[in-house]
Amino acid sequence: MAKDGYETMGFPLSFYLNNPDPADISAKTDNLYPWYLVFDFLFAIGLAIGLEKLFRLILRKK
């Protein structure tokens, strides 16, 4: 995949956008949203617990 110069992290919310251009150093942290990071972390924990419960329910029925 071609590198366009931007990295975006976070799911379901994007909490970090990085522009590796050295001339634009201030843009590296302009899009850092800590609450998005916290929400993504809580979403990941909830998703893991939900999937575990679903798999246990499926395996128990067999």
Number of domains in the chain: 1
Report if residue 27 sits inside a domain: yes
Report if residue 5 sits inside a domain: no
Confidence at residue 37, expressed as pLDDT on a 0 to 100 scale: 82
How far is Cα 40 from Cα 44, in angstroms, rounded to an integer? 6
Confidence at residue 13, expressed as pLDDT on a 0 to 100 scale: 75
Give the residue from 18, 22, 15 showing the smallest Cα distance to 6: 18
What phi and psi, each to the nearest 5 degrees, are found at residue 20? -75, 10
57's tokens: 């329910």
Question: Across the chain, which distance is largest between two alpha carbons, in Å?
Answer: 60
* Residue 42: how many other CB atoms lie within 10 Å: 10
Residue range of the domain that includes 37: 23-61
pTM: 0.60
Confidence at residue 11, expressed as pLDDT on a 0 to 100 scale: 77
Report if residue 14 sits inside a domain: no
Across 27-50, average pLDDT? 81
